């Protein structure tokens, strides 16, 4: 009588760090996704609360090494995920780092992804929603799969916040996620954004998705325009955009 061969699932850590609380809607989404992911992956849950991002991420990574996972999947506590997110990102399991596509929840609601020119200046991206993979300089970090074998090639601490001069010699803060992407590229690894994976960013009080970010940007422009004086009008008033 033949025995069924045991299927060994990839061992992946679901990693999250939060400062305050997770809303019920986000919590429900995460639980729903994780229930789907368990059919394909051997999951380990690792979290930190109340620390700054770099400290939390370094602590989480140490636990990932202890648990002998192949990949760390970082998820933010204010993001909504499609249930196929991990499966799709795992298709690039041999790459150092890949993220889904997420937009900021304020400012211009721009995509979280950048290129860097030869002078070291960062330029925001506007990727088409065409379901393709794009090599970038800096990816988002709220839906990010990291290859642990590739991470071992970097110097500790893997995550570090720094303050560095820009091309105009002005000091700028460099977050740990930006520094990690730069460190990977410095050793010849690539950084990717997968536009198949569209992430919702809970915000203002609406959720900003890559497919609706232009609408929010247009609404912001209308709000700013509505504060301006029209022809024949005079007066002095407070304008928060000046």
DSSP annotation string for 107-176: TT--BS-EEE-TTS-EEE----SSS-EEEESB--SSEEEEEHHHHTTSPSSSS--EEEE-TTS-EEEE-H
Residue 33 has pLDDT above 90, yes or no: yes
Through-space distance between the first and last CA atoms of the chain, rounded to whole angstroms: 79
* Confidence check: pLDDT of 49 > 60: yes
- Shortest CA distance to 67 belongs to which of 8, 3, 14, 129? 14
Q: What phi, psi does 12 have (nearest 5°)?
A: -125, 140
217: nearest Cα among 127, 111, 79: 111
Is 238 inside any structural domain?
Answer: no
| Residue 212: partners with Cβ closer than 8 Å, 6 or more residues away | none
Q: For residues 204 and 106, is the Cβ–Cβ distance under 8 A?
A: yes
Residue 50 in any domain: the answer is yes
Q: How confident is the model at residue 163 (pLDDT cuts 50, 70, 90)?
A: confident
70 near 11, Cβ under 8 Å? yes
Give the integer Cα–Cα distance in Å for 80 and 143.
Answer: 9
Count other Cβ atoms within 10 Å, centred on residue 139. 28
The model's confidence at residue 124, banded by pLDDT at 50, 70 and 90, is very high
Quickly state the pLDDT bin for 135 (edges 50, 70, 90).
Answer: very high
Tell me: pLDDT of 51 over 70.
Answer: no
Of the pLDDT bands very low, low, confident and very high (cuts 50, 70, 90), residue 1 is: low
CA–CA–CA angle 196, 200, 206 (5° rounding): 145
Is 60 part of any domain? yes
Altogether, the residues listed in the chain come to a count of 242
Residue 81 lies inside a defined structural domain of this protein: yes
Full residue range of the structural domain in which residue 185 is found: 11-226
Spell out a b/e string for 6-31, using b for 16 or more CB atoms within 10 Å of the CB, else e.
Answer: eeeeebbbbbbbeeeebeeebeebbe
Q: What is the pLDDT of residue 173?
A: 76
For residues 144 and 2, give the distance between their C-alpha atoms in angstroms, rounded to a whole number. Answer: 40
Q: Is residue 232 part of a domain?
A: no
Q: Structurally, how many domains does the chain consist of?
A: 1
Among the listed residues 119, 132, 32, 121, the one whose alpha carbon sits nearest the alpha carbon of residue 82? 32
CATH number of the domain that residue 46 is part of: 3.90.550.40
pLDDT band, very low/low/confident/very high, at 136 (cuts 50, 70, 90): very high
Confidence of residue 166 (pLDDT cuts 50, 70, 90): low
User: Cβ atoms within 10 A of the Cβ of 36, count?
Assistant: 16
Output the pTM of the full model: 0.88
16-31 residue pLDDT tens: 988 777 899 999 999 9
Asked whether residue 171 carries a pLDDT value surpassing 80, the answer given is: no
Residue 237 lies in a domain: no
Report pLDDT digits (tens) over 53-83.
Answer: 888 999 999 999 999 999 999 999 999 999 9
What tokens were used for 80?
A: 């909504």
- 6 falls within a domain: no
Percent of the chain with pLDDT over 70: 94
101 within a domain of the structure (yes/no): yes
pLDDT over 70 at 121, yes or no? yes
Check residue 242 and give its pLDDT.
Answer: 67
| Contact criterion met (CB below 8 Å) for 9 and 41 | yes
For 3-7, 11-15, 25-29, 225-229, which range has the lowest pLDDT when averaged over its residues?
3-7
């Amino acid at each position: 009588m033949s025995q069924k061969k045991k299927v060994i699932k990839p061992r992946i850590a679901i990693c999250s760090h939060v400062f305050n609380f997770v809303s019920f809607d986000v919590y429900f989404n995460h639980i729903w996704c994780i229930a789907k992911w368990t059919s394909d992956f051997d999951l380990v849950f690792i979290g930190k609360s109340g620390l700054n991002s770099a400290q939390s991420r370094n602590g989480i990574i140490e636990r990932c090494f202890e648990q002998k996972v192949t990949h760390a999947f970082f998820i933010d506590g204010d993001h909504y995920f499609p249930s196929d997110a991990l499966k799709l990102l795992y298709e690039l399991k041999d790459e150092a780092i890949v993220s889904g596509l997420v937009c900021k929840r304020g400012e211009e609601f721009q995509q979280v992804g950048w290129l860097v020119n030869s002078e070291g200046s960062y330029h925001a991206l506007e990727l088409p929603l065409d379901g393709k993979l794009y090599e970038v300089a800096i990816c988002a970090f709220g839906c990010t799969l990291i290859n642990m074998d590739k991470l071992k090639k970097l110097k500790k601490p893997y995550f570090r916040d720094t303050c560095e001069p820009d091309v105009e010699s002005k000091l700028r803060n460099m977050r740990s996620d930006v520094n990690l992407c730069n460190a990977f590229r410095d050793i010849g690894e690539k950084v990717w954004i997968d536009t198949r994976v569209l992430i919702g960013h809970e915000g203002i009080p609406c959720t900003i998705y890559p497919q609706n970010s232009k609408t929010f940007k247009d609404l912001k422009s209308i709000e700013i325009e509505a504060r301006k004086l029209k022809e024949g009008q005079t007066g002095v008033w407070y304008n928060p955009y000046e």
